[in-house]
Structure 1
């Protein structure tokens, strides 16, 4: 089915990119895992197979940014227990995919969302911890490699330095709460946070990495939300190209620009 830019029954405060939805089954769980992907090939297929084999007790929805590699064949997804494939046809990158996936999850009535990249770097054995923390009433759960129990495996030195010395300290300063792993996309959000009108996630201003930073900062600044970190493992390959969509110069410059805008409150509603 084709979703319009503004889904039926919503006003201008909910801006969601156009997308198509291939729904294979109805909602069966309280929470949903949203997997963000674009052209990840065998990595996303292996991740989906692994998630199907695990018994975390949550639905899985793939939020695709417009892959062209053929890895997300509908029959493969259906056979491996995926609830739905959302394919963005409108503009935007990661944050647009997030708005698409979060809107679908809220429309389906999920009480919370766990988000994870589809590039195979994250150890999915942490899923039960995210579920437990959502059950305990937390609104923003950040997966962290840098707290007790977490592991950063083969992390490129530039990434390590950037996160520990720049990214996390700035997010911590802006949010008035210590954050240790602010570039890690393995997180969980409660429906209460997603639907909060002052957080206002469904705005077209969120295009690339803005929404992750905005949610981390604003959920910590507002005393009505409960936030925490949970240990996770993220593994980079020992050899070969670093699996990332961020280019060394232009991409990193954009990330820094988005970070500084988030820190000074440019995305605040």
Structure 2
């Protein structure tokens, strides 16, 4: 029997993490469906998924997170899922929080963010400084406070699934959240906990993180004003 919720797991070079992540979901949370979107990995990520019999979309080239994410949402749309959640393949996201996010989105929200900072203050690291800047930028441009704008654990309603699946330039980034808020989308946050990456390294190092924040801020304050929403 098909679940009302699809867990979308974009994966790029996650051969050391993917088995633990997917096996845990399959064993402990079988009430949810899932799909791994292998984003043209150069390692054995796809091979492991095929050998284990995981549900898999195997992209022939690397599209980046936005492309892999949109592929998953297009699949969710075509399969008729009511809800979909973006779920990292690196072991940081914890599936025990999916239930409370699902309960929240059923209250009528378009997007629910699994937030680390609803009830917990951010530390004073450079990474959290960037997060604070994004929170302020979104607040200034939308009048809505998003405490954890960089969280990758986001759940989407049926209407959002359709919109993301059928439009270009809808990446899973803070500027998209800002854009959707400006255009009437309703967003809520649910307190979650996240683990540290088990193996491998994030694509965002210190320099990469700085460039990412600058890009997001320019997009939120300037670029998003010229976009037109097509529903």
**1:159 maps to 2:127:** yes
* CA deviation vs aligned residue, 1:55-103 (integer Å, no higher than 9, x gap): 362101111211122133244442xxx4x31122356311111111111
The correspondence of residues 252-263 of structure 1 with structure 2, limited to 5 A, is: 252-263=210-221
Segments of 5+ residues of structure 1 without an aligned counterpart are: 1-26
Q: TM-score scaled by structure 1?
A: 0.73
Query: Is 1:55 aligned to residue 14 of structure 2?
Result: no
Whole-Å separation in 2 of the counterparts to 1:266 and 1:112: 28
Which of the numbers 144, 154, 170 marks the counterpart of 1:187? 154
SS in 2 for 1:64: strand
1:136 to 81, 97, 107: 107
The CA deviation string for residues 200-258 of structure 1, in whole angstroms up to 9 with x for no partner, is: 8621x45xxx44224411332334x33200011122269x97x4111322453144214
Q: 1:263 to 1:37 in 2, by over 3 A?
A: farther
Question: Which structure has the highest helix share of the two?
Answer: 2
CA RMSD of aligned residues (A): 2.8
User: Is the CA contact 1:112–1:188 (under 8 Å) kept in the aligned structure 2?
Assistant: yes
Alpha-carbon distance in 2 for matches of 1:263, 1:117: 28
With normalisation by structure 2, the TM-score equals 0.84
Q: Which residue of 1 aligns with 2:181?
A: 220
Contact between 2:91 and 2:196, CA under 8 Å: does it hold in 1?
A: no
Partner of 2:167: 202
Q: Which runs of 5 or more residues in structure 2 are unaligned?
A: none
2:143 is matched with which residue? 176
